[in-house]
């Protein structure tokens, strides 16, 4: 894969990113698509109104190969956290054919950078038990499991909480580990 360019999604990419996100979630954990969540995943325009939707573009082909929703603070309707000093990451998705090429890592780092630039002290996210590749990525980038923020949006589907604390000591190098697989 060519180099990646991370940038805000354009309106003409909303539908394609929505389908990519549904495809990624279906392949990682099909249970997440129950109870209408697929429609929420497809609603990139709605997310872009309430948060920042970023895409990873393969510079060689111009193809969007991933996306993520960055929730800058607790005031967003997309916030799944209550801490006033937090930012959030939601709906990280990598096209199945682009997995293992650093796309998820690049998108996650972009969110961390935005959180830090916005003066946030922590980044919070949730993931299902089956999204183990994503868990490895988050752990490698310094996120820690936080069972206190786990929740069950529907019976039997647990979302596991992860938290990355940002502090002055960590600086811009926090979470700078080796590149690798993203989920």
**Alpha carbons 131 and 158: distance in angstroms, whole number:** 11
Q: What is the pLDDT of residues 7-22, one digit of tens each?
A: 999 999 999 999 999 9
Per mean pLDDT, which range of 27-31, 102-106, 142-146 is the poorest? Answer: 27-31
CATH of domain 4-173: 3.40.630.30
Q: Which of 137, 37, 36, 156 is nearest to 89 (CA)?
A: 137
Q: What is the pLDDT of residues 53-83, one digit of tens each?
A: 999 999 999 999 999 999 999 999 999 999 9
Place of tokens 């082909």: 61
**Alpha carbons 146 and 162: distance in angstroms, whole number:** 5
**Alpha carbons 114 and 108: distance in angstroms, whole number:** 10
**Alpha carbons 54 and 63: distance in angstroms, whole number:** 14
Q: What is the pLDDT of residues 139-177, one digit of tens each?
A: 999 999 999 999 888 888 889 999 999 975 444 444 444
Q: What is the DSSP string of 105-116?
A: HHHHHHHHHHHH
Residue 151 to residues 98, 133, 145, Cα–Cα distance (Å): 29, 20, 13
Question: Domain residue spans in the chain?
Answer: 4-173
- Contact yes or no for 93/25 (Cβ under 8 A): yes
**Alpha carbons 128 and 157: distance in angstroms, whole number:** 7
């Amino acid at each position: 894969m060519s180099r990646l360019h991370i940038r805000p999604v354009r309106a003409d990419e909303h539908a394609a990113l929505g389908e990519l996100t549904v495809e990624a979630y279906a392949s990682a954990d099909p249970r997440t698509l129950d109870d209408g969540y697929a429609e929420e995943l497809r609603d990139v325009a709605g997310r872009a109104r309430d948060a920042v939707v970023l895409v990873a573009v393969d510079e060689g082909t111009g193809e969007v190969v991933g996306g993520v929703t960055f929730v800058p603070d607790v005031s967003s309707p997309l916030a799944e956290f209550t801490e006033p000093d937090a930012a959030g990451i939601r709906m990280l998705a990598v096209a199945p054919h682009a997995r293992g090429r650093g796309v998820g890592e690049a998108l996650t780092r972009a969110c961390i950078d935005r959180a830090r630039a916005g003066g946030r002290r922590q980044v919070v996210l949730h993931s299902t038990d089956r999204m183990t590749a994503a868990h490895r990525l988050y752990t490698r980038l310094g996120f820690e499991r936080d069972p206190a923020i786990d929740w069950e949006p529907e019976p039997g589907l647990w979302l596991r909480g992860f938290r990355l604390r940002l502090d002055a000591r960590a600086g811009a190098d926090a979470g700078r580990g080796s590149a690798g697989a993203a989920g």
